[in-house]
Structure 1
């Protein structure tokens, strides 16, 4: 999730755990602790694919954060003693740190909660920025600064509302999963890998991707649709043309569960993550090989493909689609890539 959300979550958690000791300083410390795991973005692993795959790695692992929180509590007590007992202080620090990756695991990106184990958790029920999750936390944290005697209670209310919304997002995802499963039964798409994620800033309109060998199908489904049938549009996925794959490409494929699109662009072989983004904006694309003068291919250290800016013109259409207007589905796809080949 975004830094504002994580700071608000950390502050609210700190306020609740602090109880009668809740104060502006405690809320500020909680906000700082809530954003601390994301400091790994300043670590450069040598190339953009490694940076992407290893983000939310060790700094988001419960096996790292638990002992780190213990050491941080020890150091805190020695440097600046507080009215907290050691166990209370450790609980506060651990709660602020651990709720960060737990919330991240509900997004689509993938969070390595069990690092160094290779499992990456992505519930994919909430977008990385969702005001309906963040605003209650922010309002209650601000209110707790104004009414300090009720700080812990107010933080608890904000945390409760946001937690209910998070639970709702999982329920909404389940409804869309059931809708997709029922539609694909008996079709050519039955049994193929499916990826479902919320569209930006909401949990009502969902993007659905079905993965084939050299084709993938993309569609939108809103909980407000009167007709539950999803109009899937076939898009070219491409294939890797070489017998060998560079290690970084294999790393990307593993990270995305093979939801990757392959293209040849300007004399380079590229691969793009199909999970993150929508419409004609897929932000995580990389070059892996360069064509030589003799038409052979030379593997290269991955570089990022520059992506076009998000098109503002899509925003009104997305809002109408969220409200259940299924007639505009085709207009939300890039016409060069989305022939009207619909599979029901």
Structure 2
């Protein structure tokens, strides 16, 4: 989640845990700062943009690392706040909660968080909450401001902090229910069109949990649907796009692609932009304006050359006025397609031909077609 949300969540946890013994203002500010610590990994050096993408939310977000650091950090905090030794375990428990709630909240987004590093290196990403969600953040922010203004511990502060934490956690639970509902509606719409996807994932559209973005991988295509909780009986519109499977199959042993395939769980698409082969993570952004896109290879006379290091490529399109109008209609439950995408049944144009010609070039040189690494 965004830094503000993580700060005010930590502030709420520390207010509930330490407000009585440290004072609510000091507890809230200290809790917010402790909860920010895991995101300091953005200052760690990485070898290239792909490593920076896939290894963010790494060991600094591990629950095992948090358990190991809670005692020393708690002792430092106890001395800074001048809390007596009789409250040592309360301080340690609060520090642990500030750190772990940060990681667990991040894991609710689709980006992925390595919660169990180093025992289990794969990232966990539920994907039921957008990285910025006002409905989740605003109650926590209101509590933080109120605590700063009030400045004194009371039963009211205790009840308010617990109530906000319970309500915000319940909202996360509701988001999972809505996610499963959206996936079920999208799968039913696809199956009605005779489409059996290889994998399917629903994530919230920006800043809400009412309109969802569903991405379905179907061989050399991917489909996007946008179910709304305000829809009636009409199925969501299906938009279909080429996934660049020919280009992906020609890339062969490619370190950057292997990492992206592992991190995205196969939700990838490739396209040719000039002489570059650009791979996009389909889970983040609205097609074709994906947030994380990387040039991983370059077209050469003999086929494709791996790009070392890979390069981050900015999206060619951002949310435009048509998207805002469309999103408003989806909030109203109107069954309309997204203007920026083609509807189902449109020709799968793009770089299919280019991919085939490159494959033939690779085949002529090596005598075989390379296979894609990872889980794509």
Q: Return the TM-score normalized by structure 2.
A: 0.84
5+ residue gaps, structure 1: none
1:215-234 to 2 correspondences below 5 Å: 215-234=221-240
1:209 maps to what in 2?
215
Mark the CA change 1:190 to 1:273 in structure 2 (over 3 Å): closer, same or farther. Answer: same
Q: Could you say what secondary structure the match of 2:136 adopts?
A: helix
Aligned to 1:299: 306
Q: What's the offset of the Cα at 1:213?
A: 1.8
Deviates more, 1:1-10 or 1:20-29: 20-29
Match of 2:124 in 1: 121
Aligned-pair CA distance for 1:323 = 1.8
Partner of 1:62: 63
Q: Which of 248, 252, 256 pairs up with 2:256? A: 248
Structure 1 counterpart of 2:14: 14
1:139, 1:158 within 8 Å by CA — same for their partners in 2? no
Structure 2 residue aligned with 1:46: 47
Paired residues of 1:143 and 1:154 also in contact (CA < 8 A): no
SS in structure 2 of the partner of residue 288 of structure 1: strand
Instruction: Indicate the residue corresponding to 1:182 in structure 2.
Output: 188
Q: 2: distance between equivalents of 1:177 and 1:256?
A: 18
Is structure 2 residue 152 aligned with structure 1 residue 145? no
Q: Distance in 2 between matches of 1:233 and 1:50?
A: 31
Q: Residue 210 of structure 2 contacts residue 228 of structure 2 at CA under 8 Å; is this kept in 1?
A: yes
**Could you give the per-residue CA deviations for residues 239-280 of structure 1, whole angstroms, max 9, x where no partner exists?**
215262311210100110111001111101121100000143
Q: Deviations over 1:261-316 (max 9, x none)?
A: 01111101121100000143101010111233x34432121101122452341223
In structure 2, C-alpha distance between the alignment counterparts of 1:191 and 1:339, rounded to whole Å = 17
| Deviation (angstroms), 1:19 | 4.6
Question: Does residue 117 of structure 2 align to residue 88 of structure 1?
Answer: no
**What is the rounded CA distance, in whole Å, between the counterparts of 2:216 and 2:114 in structure 1?**
24
Q: Which residue of 1 aligns with 2:333?
A: 324
Query: What number of residue pairs does the alignment pair up?
Result: 336
**Structure 1 residues 31 and 197: alpha-carbon distance in aligned structure 2, compared to 1, 3 A threshold:** same
* TM-score, normalised relative to structure 1: 0.92
CA RMSD of aligned residues (A): 1.9
Matching residue of 1:197: 203
- Secondary structure of 2:109's counterpart equals coil
Seen in structure 2, the aligned counterparts of structure 1 residues 339 and 231 have a Cα distance that, compared at 3 Å, is: closer
The match for 1:170 among 176, 193, 211 is 176
Change (3 A) 1:76 1:165: closer
Provide structure 2 residue ranges, at least 5 long, that are not aligned to the other structure.
347-376
CA distance in 2 between counterparts of 1:24 and 1:39 reads 24
SS of 1:224's partner is coil
- Give, in angstroms, the shift of residue 224 of structure 1: 0.4
